[in-house]
Amino acid sequence: MKKNVFRDSVTASPWQTIGKPEVGTATNLTEIFDTVIIGAGITGITTALMLQQAGQKCIVLEAGNVGYGTTGGTTAHLNTFFDTTYPQIESDFSKEAAKLVAQTGKDAIAIIKGYIDRYQADCDFEYKDGYLYSENERETKELKEILESSAEAGVEVEEASENGVKVPFESVIRFGNQAQFHPMKYLSTLVKAFTDMGGIVLENAFVTDRKSKDGLSEVITDKAQIKGRNVVYATHLPPGITAFSLRCAPYRSYVIGARLKNEQYPHGLTYDMQEPYHYFRTHEIEGQKYLIVGGEDHKTGHDNPEEAFANLESYLRQYYEVESIDYRWSSQYYVPVDGLPYIGPMAAADEQVYIATGFNGNGMIFGTISGKIISDQILGIENPYSQLYSPSRLKPIAGFSEFVKENADVAWRFVADRFGTEELKAVADLKPGEGKVVEFDGDRLAVYKDAGGKVTALSPVCTHAGCIVNFNAAEQSWDCPCHGGRFDTSGKVLCGPPQKDLEQIALPQK
Protein backbone atom coordinates (compact mmCIF):
# COMPACT_ATOMS: atom_id res chain seq x y z
CA MET A 1 0.00 0.00 0.00
CA LYS A 2 1.22 3.46 -0.88
CA LYS A 3 2.52 5.31 2.18
CA ASN A 4 2.01 8.82 3.44
CA VAL A 5 -0.23 10.14 0.72
CA PHE A 6 -3.35 12.08 1.41
CA ARG A 7 -5.86 10.44 -0.96
CA ASP A 8 -6.13 7.35 -3.11
CA SER A 9 -5.58 9.55 -6.16
CA VAL A 10 -2.97 11.83 -7.69
CA THR A 11 -5.56 14.58 -8.15
CA ALA A 12 -6.16 16.90 -5.20
CA SER A 13 -9.50 17.78 -3.70
CA PRO A 14 -9.88 21.20 -2.04
CA TRP A 15 -10.36 19.48 1.32
CA GLN A 16 -6.68 18.54 1.28
CA THR A 17 -5.50 22.10 1.83
CA ILE A 18 -5.96 21.66 5.60
CA GLY A 19 -3.42 18.83 5.67
CA LYS A 20 -3.82 15.43 7.27
CA PRO A 21 -5.76 15.10 10.53
CA GLU A 22 -3.57 14.38 13.56
CA VAL A 23 -4.01 10.91 15.00
CA GLY A 24 -1.30 10.79 17.69
CA THR A 25 0.84 7.77 18.41
CA ALA A 26 -0.75 4.35 18.49
CA THR A 27 0.25 2.32 21.55
CA ASN A 28 -1.04 -0.80 23.34
CA LEU A 29 -1.66 -2.64 20.09
CA THR A 30 -1.44 -6.02 21.82
CA GLU A 31 -4.57 -5.67 23.97
CA ILE A 32 -7.88 -7.19 22.94
CA PHE A 33 -10.10 -4.49 21.53
CA ASP A 34 -13.87 -4.51 21.76
CA THR A 35 -14.12 -3.42 18.13
CA VAL A 36 -11.59 -3.19 15.32
CA ILE A 37 -12.73 -0.80 12.60
CA ILE A 38 -11.06 -1.01 9.21
CA GLY A 39 -11.15 2.25 7.24
CA ALA A 40 -10.80 5.81 8.56
CA GLY A 41 -13.39 7.60 6.46
CA ILE A 42 -16.65 9.02 7.75
CA THR A 43 -18.15 5.54 8.24
CA GLY A 44 -15.25 4.11 10.22
CA ILE A 45 -14.58 7.16 12.35
CA THR A 46 -18.26 7.78 13.16
CA THR A 47 -18.68 4.13 14.19
CA ALA A 48 -15.50 4.21 16.26
CA LEU A 49 -16.48 7.42 18.03
CA MET A 50 -19.97 6.17 18.88
CA LEU A 51 -18.62 2.93 20.31
CA GLN A 52 -15.82 4.63 22.23
CA GLN A 53 -18.36 7.07 23.68
CA ALA A 54 -20.38 4.06 24.84
CA GLY A 55 -17.40 2.76 26.78
CA GLN A 56 -15.85 0.40 24.24
CA LYS A 57 -12.15 0.21 23.51
CA CYS A 58 -11.76 0.67 19.75
CA ILE A 59 -9.01 0.82 17.19
CA VAL A 60 -9.29 2.12 13.62
CA LEU A 61 -6.93 0.57 11.07
CA GLU A 62 -6.35 2.65 7.98
CA ALA A 63 -4.35 1.61 4.92
CA GLY A 64 -3.41 5.20 4.09
CA ASN A 65 -4.35 8.09 6.35
CA VAL A 66 -7.59 9.47 7.78
CA GLY A 67 -9.82 10.49 4.86
CA TYR A 68 -7.62 8.62 2.37
CA GLY A 69 -10.58 7.18 0.46
CA THR A 70 -13.89 8.63 -0.64
CA THR A 71 -14.35 10.98 2.34
CA GLY A 72 -11.32 12.92 1.11
CA GLY A 73 -12.87 13.21 -2.35
CA THR A 74 -16.58 13.63 -1.67
CA THR A 75 -18.40 16.84 -2.55
CA ALA A 76 -20.06 16.65 0.86
CA HIS A 77 -23.72 17.21 0.04
CA LEU A 78 -26.00 16.36 2.96
CA ASN A 79 -29.42 15.48 1.62
CA THR A 80 -32.77 14.05 2.56
CA PHE A 81 -33.27 12.82 -1.01
CA PHE A 82 -31.03 10.30 -2.65
CA ASP A 83 -29.73 8.80 -5.89
CA THR A 84 -32.35 6.10 -5.45
CA THR A 85 -35.51 8.17 -5.66
CA TYR A 86 -38.54 7.88 -3.40
CA PRO A 87 -40.77 6.54 -6.21
CA GLN A 88 -38.16 3.83 -6.82
CA ILE A 89 -37.98 2.95 -3.12
CA GLU A 90 -41.80 2.86 -2.89
CA SER A 91 -42.09 0.54 -5.85
CA ASP A 92 -39.10 -1.72 -5.07
CA PHE A 93 -39.56 -1.81 -1.30
CA SER A 94 -42.61 -0.09 0.20
CA LYS A 95 -44.06 3.24 1.28
CA GLU A 96 -42.88 2.46 4.81
CA ALA A 97 -39.36 1.93 3.51
CA ALA A 98 -39.49 5.31 1.74
CA LYS A 99 -40.45 6.94 5.05
CA LEU A 100 -37.53 5.24 6.81
CA VAL A 101 -35.10 6.35 4.12
CA ALA A 102 -36.38 9.91 4.44
CA GLN A 103 -35.86 9.67 8.20
CA THR A 104 -32.31 8.36 7.56
CA GLY A 105 -31.38 11.62 5.87
CA LYS A 106 -32.85 13.73 8.65
CA ASP A 107 -31.22 11.61 11.38
CA ALA A 108 -27.81 11.66 9.71
CA ILE A 109 -27.85 15.44 9.31
CA ALA A 110 -28.95 15.75 12.95
CA ILE A 111 -26.09 13.47 14.07
CA ILE A 112 -23.57 15.55 12.12
CA LYS A 113 -24.99 18.81 13.46
CA GLY A 114 -25.01 17.33 16.97
CA TYR A 115 -21.31 16.51 16.81
CA ILE A 116 -20.52 19.91 15.33
CA ASP A 117 -22.30 21.62 18.24
CA ARG A 118 -20.90 19.28 20.88
CA TYR A 119 -17.29 19.63 19.77
CA GLN A 120 -17.55 23.24 18.53
CA ALA A 121 -16.38 22.05 15.12
CA ASP A 122 -15.44 24.75 12.66
CA CYS A 123 -16.24 22.78 9.52
CA ASP A 124 -18.16 25.26 7.32
CA PHE A 125 -21.51 23.55 8.01
CA GLU A 126 -24.43 25.42 6.45
CA TYR A 127 -28.06 24.51 5.93
CA LYS A 128 -28.99 24.95 2.26
CA ASP A 129 -31.90 24.52 -0.09
CA GLY A 130 -31.57 21.62 -2.50
CA TYR A 131 -32.91 22.01 -6.05
CA LEU A 132 -33.73 19.18 -8.42
CA TYR A 133 -34.72 20.30 -11.90
CA SER A 134 -35.95 18.82 -15.16
CA GLU A 135 -34.96 19.81 -18.69
CA ASN A 136 -37.49 17.92 -20.83
CA GLU A 137 -40.98 16.43 -20.76
CA ARG A 138 -39.86 12.97 -19.62
CA GLU A 139 -37.85 14.40 -16.73
CA THR A 140 -40.69 16.74 -15.76
CA LYS A 141 -43.05 13.79 -15.48
CA GLU A 142 -40.54 11.98 -13.30
CA LEU A 143 -39.92 15.09 -11.22
CA LYS A 144 -43.64 15.33 -10.45
CA GLU A 145 -43.60 11.75 -9.17
CA ILE A 146 -40.52 12.51 -7.08
CA LEU A 147 -42.25 15.54 -5.59
CA GLU A 148 -45.32 13.51 -4.61
CA SER A 149 -43.40 10.52 -3.22
CA SER A 150 -40.87 12.67 -1.37
CA ALA A 151 -43.65 14.64 0.34
CA GLU A 152 -45.45 11.42 1.23
CA ALA A 153 -42.21 10.00 2.67
CA GLY A 154 -42.05 12.99 5.00
CA VAL A 155 -39.42 15.13 3.33
CA GLU A 156 -39.75 18.93 3.23
CA VAL A 157 -40.25 19.60 -0.49
CA GLU A 158 -42.23 21.93 -2.75
CA GLU A 159 -42.41 23.26 -6.28
CA ALA A 160 -40.03 26.14 -6.88
CA SER A 161 -39.45 28.86 -9.42
CA GLU A 162 -35.65 28.86 -9.52
CA ASN A 163 -32.99 26.14 -9.59
CA GLY A 164 -30.10 28.11 -8.08
CA VAL A 165 -27.82 27.73 -11.12
CA LYS A 166 -27.54 29.26 -14.58
CA VAL A 167 -28.76 26.17 -16.41
CA PRO A 168 -32.20 26.63 -18.05
CA PHE A 169 -34.86 24.29 -16.70
CA GLU A 170 -38.40 23.17 -17.40
CA SER A 171 -39.54 22.42 -13.86
CA VAL A 172 -37.88 22.47 -10.42
CA ILE A 173 -38.55 21.32 -6.88
CA ARG A 174 -36.93 22.59 -3.70
CA PHE A 175 -35.93 20.43 -0.74
CA GLY A 176 -35.60 22.30 2.55
CA ASN A 177 -33.04 21.70 5.31
CA GLN A 178 -30.30 20.19 3.19
CA ALA A 179 -26.74 21.00 4.21
CA GLN A 180 -23.10 21.11 3.20
CA PHE A 181 -19.82 21.05 5.10
CA HIS A 182 -16.07 20.62 4.80
CA PRO A 183 -15.72 16.85 5.11
CA MET A 184 -12.10 16.75 6.26
CA LYS A 185 -12.56 19.48 8.88
CA TYR A 186 -15.52 17.51 10.21
CA LEU A 187 -13.62 14.23 10.15
CA SER A 188 -10.67 15.83 11.95
CA THR A 189 -13.04 16.89 14.73
CA LEU A 190 -14.39 13.38 15.12
CA VAL A 191 -10.88 11.90 15.10
CA LYS A 192 -9.79 14.28 17.84
CA ALA A 193 -12.84 13.44 19.94
CA PHE A 194 -12.18 9.73 19.42
CA THR A 195 -8.47 9.83 20.27
CA ASP A 196 -9.07 12.19 23.22
CA MET A 197 -11.24 9.44 24.68
CA GLY A 198 -8.46 6.88 24.27
CA GLY A 199 -9.42 5.56 20.83
CA ILE A 200 -6.55 4.51 18.59
CA VAL A 201 -6.09 5.26 14.90
CA LEU A 202 -3.31 3.25 13.25
CA GLU A 203 -2.45 4.69 9.84
CA ASN A 204 -0.48 3.05 7.03
CA ALA A 205 -1.73 -0.30 8.27
CA PHE A 206 -2.89 -2.27 5.26
CA VAL A 207 -5.11 -5.18 6.26
CA THR A 208 -4.07 -8.34 4.47
CA ASP A 209 -6.12 -10.97 6.30
CA ARG A 210 -8.49 -11.75 9.14
CA LYS A 211 -8.67 -14.98 11.12
CA SER A 212 -11.32 -15.80 13.63
CA LYS A 213 -11.19 -18.22 16.55
CA ASP A 214 -13.18 -18.64 19.76
CA GLY A 215 -15.21 -15.48 19.22
CA LEU A 216 -12.14 -13.36 18.57
CA SER A 217 -10.91 -11.93 15.29
CA GLU A 218 -7.26 -11.42 14.53
CA VAL A 219 -6.80 -8.74 11.91
CA ILE A 220 -3.47 -9.02 10.12
CA THR A 221 -1.90 -5.83 8.83
CA ASP A 222 1.52 -5.16 7.37
CA LYS A 223 2.29 -3.32 10.61
CA ALA A 224 0.72 -5.28 13.44
CA GLN A 225 -1.71 -8.05 14.29
CA ILE A 226 -4.74 -6.74 16.11
CA LYS A 227 -7.21 -8.77 18.14
CA GLY A 228 -10.81 -7.74 18.62
CA ARG A 229 -14.26 -9.07 19.48
CA ASN A 230 -16.02 -7.26 16.63
CA VAL A 231 -14.72 -6.19 13.23
CA VAL A 232 -16.25 -3.45 11.08
CA TYR A 233 -15.27 -3.17 7.42
CA ALA A 234 -15.75 0.52 6.63
CA THR A 235 -13.95 0.05 3.34
CA HIS A 236 -16.75 0.10 0.75
CA LEU A 237 -16.52 -3.56 -0.24
CA PRO A 238 -15.26 -6.07 2.29
CA PRO A 239 -12.15 -7.97 1.16
CA GLY A 240 -12.26 -11.24 -0.73
CA ILE A 241 -14.81 -12.47 -3.22
CA THR A 242 -18.14 -12.12 -1.46
CA ALA A 243 -21.77 -11.67 -2.41
CA PHE A 244 -21.18 -7.95 -2.12
CA SER A 245 -18.65 -8.03 -4.97
CA LEU A 246 -21.66 -8.78 -7.14
CA ARG A 247 -24.27 -6.69 -5.35
CA CYS A 248 -22.37 -3.41 -5.61
CA ALA A 249 -20.91 -1.85 -8.75
CA PRO A 250 -18.00 0.62 -8.49
CA TYR A 251 -18.35 4.05 -10.10
CA ARG A 252 -16.17 7.12 -10.31
CA SER A 253 -17.52 10.64 -10.19
CA TYR A 254 -15.62 13.66 -11.53
CA VAL A 255 -15.46 17.07 -9.91
CA ILE A 256 -14.15 20.50 -10.82
CA GLY A 257 -13.56 23.41 -8.43
CA ALA A 258 -13.69 26.66 -10.43
CA ARG A 259 -13.27 30.35 -9.68
CA LEU A 260 -15.79 32.44 -11.62
CA LYS A 261 -15.29 35.77 -13.38
CA ASN A 262 -18.33 37.17 -11.63
CA GLU A 263 -20.02 36.46 -8.33
CA GLN A 264 -22.73 34.24 -9.78
CA TYR A 265 -21.94 31.31 -7.54
CA PRO A 266 -24.82 28.90 -6.81
CA HIS A 267 -26.44 29.58 -3.44
CA GLY A 268 -27.87 26.11 -2.92
CA LEU A 269 -27.25 22.49 -3.73
CA THR A 270 -28.47 21.81 -7.25
CA TYR A 271 -28.93 18.62 -9.26
CA ASP A 272 -30.10 17.94 -12.80
CA MET A 273 -31.81 14.72 -13.88
CA GLN A 274 -29.48 13.70 -16.69
CA GLU A 275 -27.88 10.26 -16.76
CA PRO A 276 -25.38 10.55 -15.22
CA TYR A 277 -26.53 13.63 -13.39
CA HIS A 278 -24.60 16.86 -12.69
CA TYR A 279 -24.46 18.50 -9.30
CA PHE A 280 -23.46 21.97 -8.13
CA ARG A 281 -22.60 23.82 -4.98
CA THR A 282 -20.33 26.58 -3.71
CA HIS A 283 -17.62 26.36 -1.06
CA GLU A 284 -15.19 28.95 0.24
CA ILE A 285 -11.66 27.61 0.58
CA GLU A 286 -9.14 29.89 2.30
CA GLY A 287 -11.21 33.00 1.55
CA GLN A 288 -11.84 32.13 -2.09
CA LYS A 289 -15.25 31.00 -3.36
CA TYR A 290 -15.35 27.99 -5.65
CA LEU A 291 -18.13 26.64 -7.77
CA ILE A 292 -17.96 22.89 -7.29
CA VAL A 293 -19.53 20.99 -10.17
CA GLY A 294 -19.54 17.23 -10.48
CA GLY A 295 -20.82 14.50 -12.74
CA GLU A 296 -19.84 12.48 -15.82
CA ASP A 297 -19.81 9.39 -13.59
CA HIS A 298 -18.99 6.02 -15.10
CA LYS A 299 -18.12 2.55 -13.95
CA THR A 300 -14.59 2.35 -12.62
CA GLY A 301 -12.13 1.12 -15.20
CA HIS A 302 -14.62 1.32 -18.07
CA ASP A 303 -14.52 4.75 -19.73
CA ASN A 304 -11.89 7.39 -20.28
CA PRO A 305 -11.39 9.56 -17.14
CA GLU A 306 -9.62 12.32 -19.09
CA GLU A 307 -12.62 12.55 -21.40
CA ALA A 308 -14.91 12.72 -18.35
CA PHE A 309 -12.98 15.72 -17.00
CA ALA A 310 -13.03 17.37 -20.46
CA ASN A 311 -16.80 16.84 -20.79
CA LEU A 312 -17.40 18.23 -17.32
CA GLU A 313 -15.33 21.30 -18.04
CA SER A 314 -17.11 22.02 -21.31
CA TYR A 315 -20.48 21.53 -19.56
CA LEU A 316 -19.44 24.05 -16.90
CA ARG A 317 -18.20 26.58 -19.47
CA GLN A 318 -21.54 26.42 -21.33
CA TYR A 319 -23.18 28.19 -18.41
CA TYR A 320 -20.50 30.00 -16.41
CA GLU A 321 -17.66 32.40 -17.16
CA VAL A 322 -14.72 30.65 -15.60
CA GLU A 323 -11.76 32.60 -14.25
CA SER A 324 -9.71 29.49 -13.47
CA ILE A 325 -10.09 25.85 -12.69
CA ASP A 326 -8.08 25.23 -9.55
CA TYR A 327 -9.23 21.73 -8.63
CA ARG A 328 -9.99 18.61 -10.62
CA TRP A 329 -10.51 15.38 -8.79
CA SER A 330 -12.44 12.14 -8.92
CA SER A 331 -13.70 9.79 -6.30
CA GLN A 332 -15.20 6.32 -6.02
CA TYR A 333 -18.58 5.13 -4.83
CA TYR A 334 -20.56 1.90 -5.04
CA VAL A 335 -24.03 1.47 -6.51
CA PRO A 336 -26.10 -1.22 -4.74
CA VAL A 337 -28.05 -3.67 -6.84
CA ASP A 338 -31.45 -2.92 -5.29
CA GLY A 339 -30.87 0.76 -4.64
CA LEU A 340 -30.30 0.77 -0.88
CA PRO A 341 -27.04 0.36 1.05
CA TYR A 342 -25.96 -2.74 2.94
CA ILE A 343 -25.29 -1.88 6.58
CA GLY A 344 -24.98 -4.36 9.40
CA PRO A 345 -23.72 -7.89 10.09
CA MET A 346 -21.98 -9.23 6.99
CA ALA A 347 -23.67 -12.59 7.39
CA ALA A 348 -26.70 -13.46 9.46
CA ALA A 349 -24.67 -16.26 11.07
CA ASP A 350 -21.75 -14.04 12.02
CA GLU A 351 -22.83 -11.10 14.12
CA GLN A 352 -19.29 -10.04 14.91
CA VAL A 353 -18.28 -8.88 11.43
CA TYR A 354 -20.03 -5.83 10.03
CA ILE A 355 -20.04 -4.05 6.70
CA ALA A 356 -21.32 -0.74 5.36
CA THR A 357 -21.35 -0.41 1.59
CA GLY A 358 -23.43 0.50 -1.45
CA PHE A 359 -23.92 4.14 -0.46
CA ASN A 360 -24.38 5.31 -4.07
CA GLY A 361 -23.51 9.04 -4.29
CA ASN A 362 -24.83 9.69 -0.77
CA GLY A 363 -21.83 8.62 1.28
CA MET A 364 -21.84 11.34 3.95
CA ILE A 365 -25.41 10.52 4.94
CA PHE A 366 -25.18 6.73 4.75
CA GLY A 367 -21.66 6.72 6.25
CA THR A 368 -22.94 8.66 9.24
CA ILE A 369 -26.05 6.55 9.74
CA SER A 370 -23.88 3.41 9.39
CA GLY A 371 -22.03 4.57 12.48
CA LYS A 372 -25.30 4.71 14.39
CA ILE A 373 -26.71 1.45 13.04
CA ILE A 374 -23.56 -0.63 13.54
CA SER A 375 -22.70 0.83 16.92
CA ASP A 376 -26.25 0.13 18.11
CA GLN A 377 -26.05 -3.42 16.80
CA ILE A 378 -22.72 -4.05 18.51
CA LEU A 379 -24.02 -2.58 21.76
CA GLY A 380 -27.22 -4.62 21.59
CA ILE A 381 -29.47 -1.59 21.11
CA GLU A 382 -32.44 -1.94 18.79
CA ASN A 383 -32.10 0.25 15.71
CA PRO A 384 -35.06 1.18 13.50
CA TYR A 385 -32.97 0.84 10.34
CA SER A 386 -31.47 -2.60 10.95
CA GLN A 387 -33.94 -4.53 8.85
CA LEU A 388 -34.21 -2.10 5.94
CA TYR A 389 -30.46 -1.91 5.34
CA SER A 390 -29.66 -5.47 6.40
CA PRO A 391 -26.90 -7.00 4.23
CA SER A 392 -28.81 -10.29 4.48
CA ARG A 393 -32.03 -8.91 3.01
CA LEU A 394 -33.43 -10.71 0.03
CA LYS A 395 -34.59 -8.30 -2.64
CA PRO A 396 -34.00 -10.22 -5.87
CA ILE A 397 -36.83 -8.57 -7.78
CA ALA A 398 -36.04 -4.96 -6.99
CA GLY A 399 -32.70 -4.81 -8.67
CA PHE A 400 -32.82 -7.88 -10.82
CA SER A 401 -32.26 -6.34 -14.23
CA GLU A 402 -29.36 -4.22 -13.04
CA PHE A 403 -28.00 -7.19 -11.08
CA VAL A 404 -27.88 -9.27 -14.24
CA LYS A 405 -26.29 -6.42 -16.16
CA GLU A 406 -23.52 -5.92 -13.60
CA ASN A 407 -22.81 -9.63 -13.42
CA ALA A 408 -22.79 -10.07 -17.15
CA ASP A 409 -20.20 -7.37 -17.23
CA VAL A 410 -18.04 -9.20 -14.72
CA ALA A 411 -18.38 -12.50 -16.57
CA TRP A 412 -17.49 -10.89 -19.88
CA ARG A 413 -14.31 -9.45 -18.45
CA PHE A 414 -13.18 -12.80 -17.20
CA VAL A 415 -13.41 -14.44 -20.60
CA ALA A 416 -12.59 -11.67 -23.00
CA ASP A 417 -9.68 -10.27 -21.08
CA ARG A 418 -8.03 -13.54 -20.44
CA PHE A 419 -8.39 -15.06 -23.85
CA GLY A 420 -9.00 -12.16 -26.23
CA THR A 421 -6.26 -10.76 -28.43
CA GLU A 422 -5.14 -7.17 -28.73
CA GLU A 423 -2.98 -5.35 -31.13
CA LEU A 424 0.67 -5.75 -30.28
CA LYS A 425 2.15 -2.67 -28.73
CA ALA A 426 5.82 -2.03 -28.21
CA VAL A 427 6.82 -0.55 -24.88
CA ALA A 428 8.71 2.11 -26.77
CA ASP A 429 5.39 3.52 -28.09
CA LEU A 430 4.37 4.71 -24.64
CA LYS A 431 4.44 8.41 -23.96
CA PRO A 432 5.58 9.69 -20.52
CA GLY A 433 2.70 9.38 -18.05
CA GLU A 434 0.97 6.78 -20.19
CA GLY A 435 0.10 3.20 -19.30
CA LYS A 436 -1.27 0.37 -21.42
CA VAL A 437 -1.97 -3.30 -21.27
CA VAL A 438 0.22 -4.70 -24.04
CA GLU A 439 1.21 -8.08 -25.36
CA PHE A 440 4.91 -8.50 -24.94
CA ASP A 441 6.88 -11.66 -25.72
CA GLY A 442 3.67 -13.67 -25.50
CA ASP A 443 2.62 -12.26 -22.10
CA ARG A 444 0.09 -9.57 -21.36
CA LEU A 445 1.61 -6.84 -19.30
CA ALA A 446 0.48 -3.59 -17.71
CA VAL A 447 3.28 -1.21 -18.64
CA TYR A 448 3.71 2.36 -17.54
CA LYS A 449 6.24 4.99 -18.51
CA ASP A 450 6.88 7.71 -15.94
CA ALA A 451 7.80 11.32 -16.69
CA GLY A 452 11.50 10.42 -16.67
CA GLY A 453 11.02 7.61 -19.19
CA LYS A 454 11.34 4.74 -16.68
CA VAL A 455 9.09 1.83 -17.61
CA THR A 456 7.35 -0.30 -14.98
CA ALA A 457 5.77 -3.61 -15.96
CA LEU A 458 3.12 -5.35 -13.88
CA SER A 459 0.84 -8.30 -14.21
CA PRO A 460 -2.47 -6.79 -15.41
CA VAL A 461 -4.39 -9.52 -13.59
CA CYS A 462 -6.22 -8.00 -10.64
CA THR A 463 -5.31 -9.82 -7.43
CA HIS A 464 -8.95 -9.81 -6.29
CA ALA A 465 -10.70 -12.04 -8.82
CA GLY A 466 -8.51 -12.02 -11.90
CA CYS A 467 -10.00 -9.31 -14.12
CA ILE A 468 -7.66 -7.26 -16.28
CA VAL A 469 -6.93 -3.73 -15.11
CA ASN A 470 -7.17 -0.62 -17.30
CA PHE A 471 -4.99 2.47 -17.09
CA ASN A 472 -6.53 5.64 -15.67
CA ALA A 473 -4.41 8.46 -17.08
CA ALA A 474 -6.18 11.17 -15.07
CA GLU A 475 -5.40 9.51 -11.74
CA GLN A 476 -2.24 7.67 -12.90
CA SER A 477 -3.64 4.39 -11.60
CA TRP A 478 -4.57 0.93 -12.78
CA ASP A 479 -8.32 0.50 -12.28
CA CYS A 480 -10.10 -2.82 -12.25
CA PRO A 481 -13.38 -2.84 -14.21
CA CYS A 482 -14.94 -5.59 -12.13
CA HIS A 483 -15.18 -4.49 -8.50
CA GLY A 484 -13.29 -1.21 -8.46
CA GLY A 485 -9.90 -2.36 -7.17
CA ARG A 486 -7.32 0.31 -7.93
CA PHE A 487 -3.52 0.16 -7.92
CA ASP A 488 -0.86 2.83 -8.27
CA THR A 489 1.70 2.74 -11.09
CA SER A 490 4.04 0.58 -9.02
CA GLY A 491 1.23 -1.92 -8.46
CA LYS A 492 0.43 -1.02 -4.84
CA VAL A 493 -3.22 -1.33 -3.82
CA LEU A 494 -4.93 2.06 -3.66
CA CYS A 495 -8.46 0.99 -2.86
CA GLY A 496 -11.12 -1.65 -3.35
CA PRO A 497 -11.32 -5.28 -2.39
CA PRO A 498 -7.85 -6.51 -3.54
CA GLN A 499 -5.60 -7.37 -0.61
CA LYS A 500 -2.45 -7.91 -2.65
CA ASP A 501 -0.45 -5.63 -4.91
CA LEU A 502 -0.16 -6.30 -8.64
CA GLU A 503 2.80 -8.53 -9.37
CA GLN A 504 5.84 -6.67 -10.61
CA ILE A 505 7.40 -8.12 -13.76
CA ALA A 506 11.04 -7.71 -14.69
CA LEU A 507 11.20 -6.75 -18.35
CA PRO A 508 13.74 -8.68 -20.40
CA GLN A 509 16.79 -6.64 -21.24
CA LYS A 510 17.12 -6.22 -25.02
- Residue ranges that bind ligand FES, judged by CB under 6 A: 462, 464-467, 480, 482-485, 496-498
Q: Which is nearer to ligand FES, 98 or 467 (CB)?
A: 467
Q: Which is nearer to ligand FES, 278 or 483 (CB)?
A: 483
Query: Contact, 313 vs 246, CB < 8 A?
Result: no
- In angstroms, give the least distance from the CB of 486 to ligand FES: 8
Q: Which is nearer to ligand FES, 89 or 465 (CB)?
A: 465
- In angstroms, give the least distance from the CB of 332 to ligand FES: 11
- In angstroms, give the least distance from the CB of 205 to ligand FES: 21
Q: Which is nearer to ligand FES, 291 or 482 (CB)?
A: 482
DSSP-derived 3-state class of residue 77: strand
Q: Which is nearer to ligand FES, 154 or 466 (CB)?
A: 466
Rounded CA gap, 498 and 211, in Å? 17
The secondary structure of the chain in percent helix, strand, coil, rounded to multiples of 5, reads 30, 30, 40
Rounded CA gap, 373 and 139, in Å? 34
Which backbone phi and psi does 428 adopt, to 5 degrees? -65, -20
Centroid of chain to Cα 12: 15
For the chain, the C-alpha Rg in angstroms (whole number) is 22
- In angstroms, give the least distance from the CB of 300 to ligand FES: 9
HSE-up of residue 298 (Cα within 13 Å, Cβ side): 16
- In angstroms, give the least distance from the CB of 469 to ligand FES: 7
- In angstroms, give the least distance from the CB of 415 to ligand FES: 13
Rounded CA gap, 390 and 373, in Å? 10
Q: Which is nearer to ligand FES, 408 or 507 (CB)?
A: 408
For residue 488, the cross-strand partners are 477
- DSSP 8-state symbol, 72: G
Query: Contact, 360 vs 336, CB < 8 A?
Result: yes
Q: Which is nearer to ligand FES, 57 or 483 (CB)?
A: 483
Q: Which is nearer to ligand FES, 81 or 403 (CB)?
A: 403
Residues contacting residue 453 through CB under 8 Å, at least 6 positions apart: 432
- In angstroms, give the least distance from the CB of 479 to ligand FES: 9
- In angstroms, give the least distance from the CB of 484 to ligand FES: 6
Q: Which is nearer to ligand FES, 185 or 464 (CB)?
A: 464
Cα dist. 395→92, 242, 401 in Å?
A: 8, 17, 12
E strands, 47-136, are: 58-61, 77-78, 126-134
- DSSP notation for 403-433: HHHHHHHHHHHHHHHHH-------GGGPPTT
- In angstroms, give the least distance from the CB of 358 to ligand FES: 15
